[in-house]
Amino acid sequence: MIKKDIPFREDTAKYFLPWMSFLMVFIAVLALTGGFKIQNILNTWQIGVSGSMTVQIPAYDAQGKSREAVLDEEIEQVLTILRSSEGVLGAEVVSDEQMKALMEPWMGGELDIQLLPLPKLIDVSVDAQNLPNLTTIKSELAKQVPSAVLDSHRIWLDSLLKIIHMVIELISFVLVLLILTATFTVMYSTNASLSVHQPVIALIHMIGAGDFYIAIQYAYRNLKLIFAGGCFGLLASIGLVFLISYFTRYLFVDFYPNAVLDTLQWGLILSVPVWVGILGFITTYLTVLKYLKRFL
């Protein structure tokens, strides 16, 4: 049985800790829910950073008239522009053989590729860490080879993905900050309470109370306060999430279902008060042990 010799009623932690826990859990649950939803959307898109883009030089000219073939000199110009751009790792013309292989499923093996007004494709691999400046490349192309088209959808997508990954990293960072803040708050509050009750603790220590006996009272007491505050924080946060979902459902009808959380994610979110409680329990216990070292 955990004894209650320390007059906890008399210190301020009972107001302070539940509020702290309420806020921490509220923010953590919002961040987690947001993070999970973004992750789920990403997963349904099933794409990652690819690091490539394509330049097409169509087999018709700027006026829409078809022409015999794409001029080699145009290809050279495009390759030069691309290869001299920062962030471009390489640019290669897709050969006729490769084109043929690509077309085969639709056209059959007997295809004479020279007869078709196919565009020339240039495969450009880019540095995913240092994406080329697409605006400059586009304006260069427009100046020198107006018919060339830069297909950069993948790149835009890649940039978007990078931003989303940054958001997820940011959320993780916020969570780490929250954990640190919560830990320091619990340490601070415990130390404050320990100083208030110093005479009582000194006495029970003197008459034979072990460190465990004293520390467990504190740990258990803080666990209750933190868990209670955390539960309310969870309720408030989930309430807000549902409210937001309710409105976004009307705004992004197609988009929304992707973001539904799975059981594991729900489990993690619902258990946040428990984790915060355990963290508070351990932090309190260790803080008290450290404090007790001052008594012989």
Partner 1 sequence: MIQSNKLTNPVAEFNGVFLRYPGGHDVLKEIQLTLEPASFHFLTGESGAGKTSLLRLLYLNHLPSKGRIRLFGQAVDTLNRRQRTLIRRKIGVVFQDFQLLEHLNAFDNVALPLRIEGVRESEVKRHVTELLAWVGLEKQLLAYPDTLSGGEKQRIAIARAVINRPQLLLADEPTGNVDDELAKRLLYLFLELNKLGTTVVIATHNKQLIKHFGFPELHLKEGRLEVIPENKYMDMAMKLFARGEKHD
How far CA 113 is from CA of 109, 117, 264, in Å, comes to 10, 9, 53
CB of 203 to partner 1, least distance (A): 5
Residue 89 is classified by DSSP as E
When asked if residue 2 is in the footprint of partner 1 (CB under 8 A), the reply is no
Q: Please report which residue ranges of the chain form alpha helices under DSSP H.
A: 13-45, 72-83, 96-107, 134-144, 153-196, 198-206, 211-251, 263-270, 272-292
CB of 7 to partner 1, least distance (A): 4
CB-based contact 77:145 (threshold 8 Å)? yes
x/- map, 131-170, partner 1, by CB under 8 A:
----------------------------------------
Distance CA 160, CA 176 (A): 24
CA 198 to chain centre: 45
CB of 282 to partner 1, least distance (A): 20
Among 7, 146, 239, 267, binds partner 1 (CB under 8 A): 7
Total site size for partner 1, rule CB under 8 A: 17
When asked if residue 195 is in the footprint of partner 1 (CB under 8 A), the reply is no
Among 47, 167, 203, 274, binds partner 1 (CB under 8 A): 203
Among 49, 59, 159, 211, binds partner 1 (CB under 8 A): 211
When asked if residue 75 is in the footprint of partner 1 (CB under 8 A), the reply is no
When asked if residue 204 is in the footprint of partner 1 (CB under 8 A), the reply is yes
Q: Give the binding range for partner 1 (CB under 8 A) out of 159-167, 198-206, 225-233, 261-269.
A: 198-206
Distance CA 293, CA 296 (A): 7
Q: Between 263-270 and 13-45, two packed helices, what is the crossing angle to 10 degrees?
A: 170
Among 2, 62, 115, 207, binds partner 1 (CB under 8 A): 207
SS in 3 state form for 201-270? HHHHHHCCCCHHHHHHHHHHHHHHHHHHHHHHHHHHHHHHHHHHHHHHHHHCCCCHHHHCCCHHHHHHHH
Residues 9-38 that bind partner 1 (CB under 8 A): 9-10
When asked if residue 200 is in the footprint of partner 1 (CB under 8 A), the reply is yes
CB-based contact 222:281 (threshold 8 Å)? yes
Distance CA 137, CA 259 (A): 36
When asked if residue 274 is in the footprint of partner 1 (CB under 8 A), the reply is no
CB of 39 to partner 1, least distance (A): 48
22 closest CA partner among 183, 227, 267: 227
- Residue 203's identity, in one-letter code, is L
Residues 277-296 that bind partner 1 (CB under 8 A): 296
- Residue 7 vs 267, nearer CB to partner 1: 7
Among 142, 170, 206, 270, binds partner 1 (CB under 8 A): 206
- Residue 240 vs 289, nearer CB to partner 1: 289
Which residues lie near partner 1 (CB under 8 A)?
A: 3, 5, 7, 9-10, 199-200, 203-204, 206-211, 213, 296
